[in-house]
Amino acid sequence: MRALLIGAVEGTRVAADAIADTPGWELAAIATLPPEFAARHSDFVDLEPVAARHGALFLPVAQCNAPAFLEQLRAIAADIVFVIGWSQICGPEFRTAAAGRVVGYHPAPLPRLRGRAVIPWTILLDEKITASSLFWIDDGVDSGPLLAQRFFHVAPGETAGSLYAKHMHALDAMLRELLPGLERGPVSGDPQDEAVATWATRRRPSDGRIDWRDSAEQVERLVRAVGRPYPGAFTDAGGDRITIWSARVCACAERQHASPGQVVLRDDEGFAVRCGDGRAIHVLEYETTSRAPALHSVLGTGS
């Protein structure tokens, strides 16, 4: 079985290794973003060395629905095209060029959380259980028949990075179980239940701005949800941008008369900021545009 893989992130690398390692499969080509478009993904991975390691054709592509790429897709004549870690919708012409056999991946328990930025949304929504999903791509968005799902718990202190790693482990395991079956013959998949479908909207780096009028729990959850490999939660102080990578809720503001966004503690671990519910966030890891940020000042409360 010949496979073409298209994507630009760590999940694409995981899929490349799984396909290349599975008997009966040939990783014929990897299509990915050219380096000048790497900023489209905060978790972009250079896949050229991966393609070279597996003897796969390397295809830089900016738009997967462009006629030039569709010609390449037809010429490769892959038995199945895997779309894993790719933010563009594969249109009808793409699926026709792939003979209708296009497998997608989504880090959510489909049909719940179709759409964008689902790892941050999983944490922001305080989901207790999530899943990785493989499915046939159809005319909708993340709506095709399910080929495999692997469920797991979301830990109370889950971060974007730790949840991302769990999804990569699940993706690898699912592919290694699914690929032999796809090689043996057609697999139709299970239709998704539209009655329970939900959708997640796109998130931009600016959505990581902290509003200190929120509760301490909400702020701490935002820090965990948009941390590495994403751009991070941020605030402003004295004209400096402060990106917060790690924080915990603390009770250090209970006896402090302060406004939301005001620094109430500085210690060897970092500093603490009062939130809208009277509790505080103890900032443990952060980066700033200044060597000496004005941490005594009132931080931005958002718009």
Give tens-digit pLDDT for 159-183.
999 999 999 999 999 999 999 999 9
Q: What is the pLDDT of residues 205-262, one digit of tens each?
A: 999 999 999 999 999 999 999 999 999 999 998 788 999 999 999 988 778 889 999 9
What would the two tokens of residue 127 be? 């989901």
Strand residue runs (E) in 84-218: 102-106, 114-115, 129-136, 146-153, 199-200
Q: What is the pLDDT of residue 150?
A: 98
Please give the single-letter amino acid code of residue 165: A
Domains of the chain (ranges plus CATH)? 2-200 (3.40.50.170), 205-288 (3.10.25.10)
With contact defined as beta carbons under 8 Å apart, do 98 and 70 qualify?
Answer: no
Q: Are strands 26-32 and 57-60 parallel, antiparallel or unpaired?
A: parallel
The pTM score is 0.93
